[in-house]
Amino acid sequence: MSPSLYVHIPFCLKRCIYCDFVSGIYNPARADIYIEALKKEISNISNEKPISTLFIGGGTPTALSANALSDLINHIFTHFSFTENYEATIEANPGTLDKEKLQALRSSGINRLSIGIQSFNDNELSFLGRIHTSGEAEQAVHLAKESGFENVGIDLIYGIPGQSFASWMVTLEKAVSLKPKHISTYELTVEEGTLLYGYLKNPPTSPFSKGGESSLLWQRGARGDFSIKTLLPDEDKIIEMYEHTIDYLTADGYSHYEISNFAMPGYQCRHNITYWNRGEYCGAGPGAHSFINGKRFHNTDDLDEYLKLVSENMSPVNGSETITEDMALSEALFLGLRKTGGVNVEAFSRRYNKNILSHYQQEIDDLREAGLLEVASSDCSYETTLRLTRKGLVLSNEVFTKFI
């Protein structure tokens, strides 16, 4: 099997309030130093096998200049060979895209664009700290297609404080009208240490924007100590949004192939499928993870330390673990169950020499009784699949904890 490659760009023009990724504010001079270090690390990664998928993420990779991106991507394609039908994705922020940059990306070998739109409501975008407007997001999709990108995906967020069901419907409808090949929909999560976590625990006295819905978000609770959930949509509303998303997108021709991901036939994100299938992947950049020959390791997430180590010809890896048999079984099951197609019992048995239906019999029986898992048999292929039910999709974390 050909491995995948993840390359991290730890820069953004502005940090979003919900972000807990390894990233900092973009500085052109510092970015140039980083790209040289990143190219050096990439040159030390084995290139014996061709790469099947590339994913350049961040941060905001498209915060970099067109020349810097072309330089990096050309280096990647020079060092590695790629399979004939490779997938090469770059994450993009609508506020950092123009036709020149998009054409440079496409001509460098990138053939898939993942645009972080998050919402088509300007108040919600302002609240989240995004640098683009709804109109700019729409224009970015059109520009991408005009620049030669057929495979365009967009990311959306629901469960935003102050977001109504009607507002989420408008965002979905606008997304579908743009006809992207892929749509990811993520529930907003509040991670400790983020600006959002601090704001929800201790709301600022001033609004995020002038007037409108977002300026009313903080009037629901007194400033001081109160539950984070006070300002978030209630669980029933979030479930309603998720259920509607599944029904609406599948009715429009999108395949719901993973808990949060929808694609037109043939346009699933193959890079992410590598993760869910426990395929091998290499990572480059601060905080990047790799999984090779049954061993998982990760780079330091401190940019200064990363630059120092690479400049001194030292490895930026600062942690590793060897995956035991039990860990491998657990990972294969809860990652595989993220896919709506589930886990093929026979294929699992061939790869891991275990029958999951007997190995996890008690856990599976309990989850089936709760209506969260189902075992489906195919009459024509004599194969058995273990997969989440519709209820299980909604309560997937409760399922996964049984196997961790």
Q: Please name every residue paired with 290 in a beta bridge, in sequence order, or none if there are none.
A: 297
- Is residue 320 one of the residues assigned to a domain? no
Q: Are residue 394 and residue 245 in the same domain, yes or no? A: no
Q: What six digits make up the tokens of 273?
A: 């499928």
Domain extent at residue 353: 325-403
Higher per-residue confidence, 201 vs 304: 304
Q: Are residue 336 and residue 269 in the same domain, yes or no? A: no
Q: Are residue 258 and residue 373 in the same domain, yes or no? A: no
Q: Are residue 249 and residue 379 in the same domain, yes or no? A: no
Distance CA 160, CA 40 (A): 40
- CATH number, residue 255: 3.20.20.70
Work out the average pLDDT over 178-204: 80
Judged on CB neighbours under 10 Å (0-12, 13-18, 19+), 6 is buried
Q: Are residue 262 and residue 386 in the same domain, yes or no? A: no
Q: Are residue 204 and residue 346 in the same domain, yes or no? A: no
Work out the average pLDDT over 72-87: 98
Residue 4 has pLDDT above 70, yes or no: yes
Distance CA 64, CA 68 (A): 6
Work out the average pLDDT over 7-29: 76
Q: Are residue 257 and residue 398 in the same domain, yes or no? A: no
Q: Are residue 250 and residue 332 in the same domain, yes or no? A: no
Read off the DSSP letter of residue 339.
Answer: B
- Is residue 125 one of the residues assigned to a domain? yes
Q: What is the pLDDT of residue 23?
A: 60
Q: Are residue 47 and residue 136 in the same domain, yes or no? A: yes
Q: Are residue 181 and residue 121 in the same domain, yes or no? A: yes
Q: What is the pLDDT of residue 214?
A: 36
Higher per-residue confidence, 388 vs 20: 388
Report the mean per-residue pLDDT for the chain. Answer: 89
pLDDT tens-digit readout, 101-137: 999 999 999 999 999 999 999 988 988 888 889 999 9
Q: What is the pLDDT of residue 220?
A: 32
- What's the total number of domains in the chain? 2
- Is residue 319 one of the residues assigned to a domain? no
Q: Are residue 272 and residue 156 in the same domain, yes or no? A: yes
- Is residue 64 one of the residues assigned to a domain? yes
Q: What is the pLDDT of residue 269?
A: 98
Residue 223 has pLDDT above 60, yes or no: no
352-360: long-range contacts (C-beta < 8 A, 24 or more apart)? 352/325, 352/328, 354/329, 356/329, 356/386, 357/384, 357/386, 359/329, 360/333, 360/402, 360/403
Q: What are phi and psi of 160, to 5 degrees?
A: -75, 140
Q: What is the pLDDT of residue 127?
A: 80
Q: Are residue 217 and residue 360 in the same domain, yes or no? A: no
